[in-house]
Structure 1
Amino acid sequence: MTVVFERPYEFVPPFRGTLWPWLIQRLRLYDRYLKRKEGVVDYELRGTEHLKQSLDAKHGVLLAPNHCRYADPLVMGWPARQLGIHVHAMASWHLFNEGRFDRFALRRMGAFSIFREGNDRQSLEAAIDILVEGRRPLIIFPEGTTNRTNDQLKPLLDGVAFIARTAAKRRAKRHADPAQSAAAGSGHVVVHPVAIKYLCLENIDRWATQQLDQFEQRLGWKLMPRRSIRERTVQLAEGLLALKEVQYFGHCNGGDLSTRRDNLIEHVLSSTESQMKLDKPSEDTRERVRLIRSTASSRYFDNGADPSTATELKRYVLAADFAQDLSSYPDSYLMPDQVTDTRIVETIQRMQETVNGKADHTIPLKAVIEFAPAIEVDTRRPPKGRRDPLMQSIEDDLTARLAKLATEARSLQS
């Protein structure tokens, strides 16, 4: 997720028209883009009757999917097309700066911006208004950023509950007013957790072997002994970690992979915080990354967008992003008794993104999109000092569904 240094943040509001979203669906532009850019060529919808019930009841609908791939927002266009509806989605500001066409297309598909490097009251109000109006479902990815790990859910951000609960209060207030009750529908706001799982449509051996061969050749690994795809993937991950340790520590460290990963994350973040003269906000990696990114952005524009400061600030941001990227490599993901074809593909593509800046998407994938029954949003404040019950319900549902969907992937022999 790139910090935009070219220009200061400017809120991009949601586009309310219906002609462009209808045309995009009609021309199947989602399908073309997903096939060409992400390798997603097929899909299966499950549980859409739950969403239809909420739409028929005229609830304000918030869709809360897991976020493991960049394809996720467009994948959500398929259920919208099948149900004959349009949606709005909260999208990171940097996506609107990839080019004029991207900015135009994102808006016409229903996206509006969120400034993740700071407080964005306009975006929050837009999200709340969409739920209060109840004309279109609103998509928010509660993990905040792309997880890259399909079978495991990252901790969810509580901002989703704030948006949903605020909207529920306002809808309830409108419902109580006879002059507005007809437009307010039922007065309810509901959340549908949505589990997205990507499955490989063909045997991955040929694709994985080709990608691993290219990686090993770049590292100068020649005439290697015969090993399984899993063993080669794990060894490459360890080799790339060692290279990063030399880059940041000046030497390789000992110990198991998870400990070395965590030590490198801590070193990168603490050294960056020290150079920027920042206090460590918490132990949470995402909070520390967010502070580094937001501080870099504000310092750049506070200094009059001086180009001489941009290089150093971008270096801080890249270091923080690398730390967050490292945190997306989970423990025990490729253990012999747990490894699947999709986990191998994810890990190889994640390494390609880390090293090359982009991944090979020639392996064809199928997206399974599964909707959970509605969770009605309680307007009361959550208990003080305890986890928000709404976020806990969303997390529990997504975790259970992803665990079940994970069993549909092909197991690999170690």
Structure 2
Amino acid sequence: MPNSMTNVQPPLEFIPPDFQSGVLKLSQWIFPWWIRFKTPITEIQAENVEQLVELYQQFQQEKVRFMLAFRHPNPDDPLSISQLFWRKIPQQAKKQGIALKSPVHAHFMYDRGIPLWAGNYVTWLFPKLGGTSILRGKLDRQGLRSARNLFVNGRFPIAAAPEGATNGLNHQVSPLEPGIAQLGFWCVEDLQKAQRSEEVLIVPLGIQYHYIRDNWQALAQVLTQMEADCGLTTNNSQPIPSSLYPRLISLGNYLLDLMENFYRQYYHQHIPTDQTEELPIRLQRLLDIALQVAESYFAIKPKGSLTERCRRIEQTGWDCIYREDIKDLEALSPVERGLARRVAEEASLRMWHMRLVESFVAVSGKYVQENPTFDRFAEITIIAWTMITRLKGGNPSQTPYLGKRRVQMTVGEPISISQRWSDYKASRRQAVENLTQTLQAALEKMSQPESKP
């Protein structure tokens, strides 16, 4: 988290889209360089791109409006998707003899919190690439109005991650947020009011990352470092799955013991001491308790999934830091400013519990056991490393390097929202829920394990 999180700040302002073609052209030149030299990605593949070519042609002919709803397992997803639009679609269109108008691009929704940790350049860049900000933890009317307008009237299709945040797992889709489905129905409604006939679609996009080589040696070194950080005796056996899995489980049990005692002793939480309970049960209980500690401070009633609770805590914490109730920070007296800073500091400290949880919201405790591939080992190891790094007070974004990676994107079958309009008129809540479940199933199908070529 940036240093500003420990001091009172002005309100988080909505960042409107401000697309500029010159910035897009510059990004089209810089992004491939950035991917090559600043990420472990060496190869980007895409399946069923012809589907998007046809949809993009229909979009430009004003026959459809569509949203690309993409899986979000990794922070590098936007870079990968940029190459889908800027390179893969134009190349496939040329093969099919279809002349698409340039540029081939997409508007996109992004979390308003991203610029807080990514830096000022993102605050400048995202709007000029056609992005529109959204606050995840509350009803952001201005952000929703902007996204709704882009869906109906934007120069390009719009892209969004219905999971709301990364979960670090290729084959486990987090519960989807219903806002994406609602935006789709609003698009149908707005088009009908404008007497326009475009069909409204949601296009699922699966994204998976695979290591080019199974580097068990590098994985063993990360495990060894984590064991050392925890004061555990290192097992220097051969770096093979059969020896690494017990070490991973042992590390997990140690961390559970440590954190259970932490919340038991310092936050007065009642946690059973039954060591015979399975790891998944203990993990889910610990995540719930960690959120309760933060919710108790902010006087928030626990409600919804772990992800929903995380977003609610985050937004409440931001409300204590980015103060909408203070019109002019400079007008505060030194004493008032000191109190405001105290509120911000305490809110930031309580949000720390939520940050621990959000890394684990999709972790079942059986992910590796179900299919002990190197990719799954690496994903869970990185999640554990992130937790240990947070406990140490380090930077969790600087993850260990385990090797070069290949990105596999899969374009799914379009889901017609227009065809569900009668269902929406009959029951809005049920229609939104059904569409969300359909999209969830589509993304989960595309997230099934695949064999390496």
TM-score, with normalisation over the residues of structure 2? 0.81
Match of 1:308 among 329, 342, 348: 342
Deviation at 1:120, TM superposition (A): 1.3
- TM-aligned CA distance change 1:283 to 1:162, over 3 Å: closer
Which letter does structure 2 place at the counterpart of 1:374? P
Corresponding residue of 1:93? 112
Structure 2: where are the runs of 5+ without partners?
91-103, 266-270, 330-339, 390-395
Corresponding residue of 2:35? 34
Deviation at 1:386, TM superposition (A): 3.6
- Checking the alignment, whether the CA contact within 8 Å between 1:60 and 1:135 is kept in structure 2 is no
Corresponding residue of 2:77? 72
Structure 1: where are the runs of 5+ without partners?
none
Equivalent-residue separation in structure 2 for 1:307 and 1:131 (angstroms): 39
Corresponding residue of 2:243? 228
The reply on whether 1:389 has 2:434 as its aligned counterpart is yes
Deviation at 1:409, TM superposition (A): 4.8
Q: Any idea what SS the aligned residue of 1:220 has?
A: coil
Equivalent-residue separation in structure 2 for 1:71 and 1:220 (angstroms): 33
Corresponding residue of 2:451? 408
Match of 1:271 among 284, 293, 303: 293
Which letter does structure 1 place at the counterpart of 2:257? A
- TM-aligned CA distance change 1:222 to 1:278, over 3 Å: closer
Q: Any idea what SS the aligned residue of 1:244 has?
A: helix
Equivalent-residue separation in structure 1 for 2:253 and 2:292 (angstroms): 22
The aligned length equals: 395
Corresponding residue of 1:345? 378
Deviation at 1:362, TM superposition (A): 4.5
Corresponding residue of 2:135? 115
Which letter does structure 2 place at the counterpart of 1:104? W
Runs of 4+ in structure 1 off by over 6 angstroms are none
Corresponding residue of 2:308? 287
- Checking the alignment, whether the CA contact within 8 Å between 1:118 and 1:294 is kept in structure 2 is yes
Greater helix fraction, Structure 1 or Structure 2: 2
1:7-406 aligned at under 5 Å gives the runs 7-25=10-28, 27=29, 29-58=30-59, 59-82=64-87, 83-84=89-90, 85-97=104-116, 98-174=118-194, 176=195, 186-222=197-233, 224=235, 226=237, 228-250=243-265, 254=275, 255-280=277-302, 282-300=303-321, 301=323, 304=326, 306-335=340-369, 337-356=370-389, 357-358=396-397, 359-378=399-418, 379-382=421-424, 384=427, 386=430, 388-403=433-448, 406=449
Q: Any idea what SS the aligned residue of 2:447 has?
A: helix
- Checking the alignment, whether the CA contact within 8 Å between 1:66 and 1:398 is kept in structure 2 is yes
Equivalent-residue separation in structure 2 for 1:144 and 1:308 (angstroms): 30
Q: Percent identity?
A: 22
- TM-aligned CA distance change 1:56 to 1:386, over 3 Å: same
Equivalent-residue separation in structure 2 for 1:93 and 1:330 (angstroms): 28
Equivalent-residue separation in structure 2 for 1:199 and 1:192 (angstroms): 23
- TM-aligned CA distance change 1:203 to 1:278, over 3 Å: closer
Corresponding residue of 2:332? none
Deviation at 1:341, TM superposition (A): 1.2
